[in-house]
Amino acid sequence: MRILIVGAGAVGGYFGGRLQEKGADVTFLVREGRKKQLEETGLVIESVHGNLSLNPNMILSGEEAGTFDLIIVSTKAYHLQGAIESFRKYAGEETVILPLLNGISHFETLAAEFGEDRVIGGLCFIETTLDAAGKIIQTSSKHDLVFGERSGERTERILKIEDTFSGAKVGYRLSDDINQDVWNKYLFISAMSGITTLMRAPIGPIREEPSGRAVIAELLQEIVTVMKRAGAQFPENAEMLQMKQIDSLGFSMKTSMQRDMEKLSRVEADHLHGYLLNIAHKEQIPVPALEAVYANLKIYEQLLK
């Protein structure tokens, strides 16, 4: 199976590196600056699951490389359209596209560009970042990738993808209900990124402050209500289960959006919280905590300009 990883950043570089480590046929689609950097240093991963250094196979957008069987997309949402243009020529009629973005609206974008049948569901759980030298630093016990057909079927192609991940030094799971898995991750990441960016703090101090914990609970309740209206199905105790997961996190845990803000980088405000807020406004659902989260992020974006 020929695999194209769109980008060689913190997420794509990690999972692509682990696939190449096990001997998979992996190519990274990168920009010129990243290509030059990787030619000088190699792809270097420092991980709690074992370090890795390798020479990646790379192409620049537009170079001839044929089509690929699997394209893994792990860009930020605000880079998605540009990423689509960069890999379009490498997507053949049988190519499967596996997005690892947070949120849900990117599935509509990819399906509109390539067709519903060519886009499968995917998500990942990992804490990873690029340092100033371009090294991938992976710090979480979880380094999991979940994927599946959005129809829930166990097709021949999805079993081939499962076989491709087999033996790689990552946690991987073929899901029979990837749509619900995506909604569950969306619920968790929108609440976590929302509260940590709003409070400008790791999760530990927020949840230990009674008023902070109350805001987390309110935000979870609002997001669950909006997502249910959008078609997601959650158990009656969804908020309690999410709070239990939040309580299990390390005291100093920060979300990737919070880290982006600390680095004065762009954030996915519209893709994550704005998408939910639009549904809430349309359905006339009061969401004061979500409004505060979104306002905080948009004000940050204005000051960033």
- Catalytic (active site) residue 185: yes
The closest of 249, 288, 235, 294 to 269, measured between CA atoms, is: 294
What mean pLDDT comes out for the span 75-82? 94
For residue 305, pLDDT over 90 is answered with no
Work out the pLDDT band at 47, boundaries 50, 70, 90: very high
Taken in order of first residue, the domains within the chain and their CATH numbers are 2-176 (3.40.50.720), 181-304 (1.10.1040.10)
For residue 3, pLDDT over 90 is answered with yes
Q: State both tokens at 101.
A: 């973005």
**What's the mean per-residue pLDDT of the chain?**
96
Supply the pLDDT for residue 256.
Answer: 86
Work out the pLDDT band at 77, boundaries 50, 70, 90: very high
Q: State both tokens at 162.
A: 């499962």
Q: What is the pLDDT of residues 218-247, one digit of tens each?
A: 999 999 999 999 999 998 899 999 999 999
Point out the catalytic residue in the list 185, 254, 282, 305: 185
What mean pLDDT comes out for the span 257-264? 92
| Least confident among 198-202, 205-209, 255-259 | 255-259
Residue 70 vs residues 134, 207, 262: alpha-carbon distances, Å: 25, 40, 34
Rounded-to-integer distance, Cα 196 and Cα 72, Å = 28
Sign of CA pseudo-dihedral 165, 176, 119, 274: negative
CB–CB of 15/83 below 8 Å? no
Q: What is the pLDDT of residues 119-144, one digit of tens each?
A: 999 999 998 888 989 999 998 888 99
The closest of 233, 155, 127 to 187, measured between CA atoms, is: 233
* Chain centre to alpha carbon of residue 155: 24
The closest of 221, 215, 213, 210 to 187, measured between CA atoms, is: 221
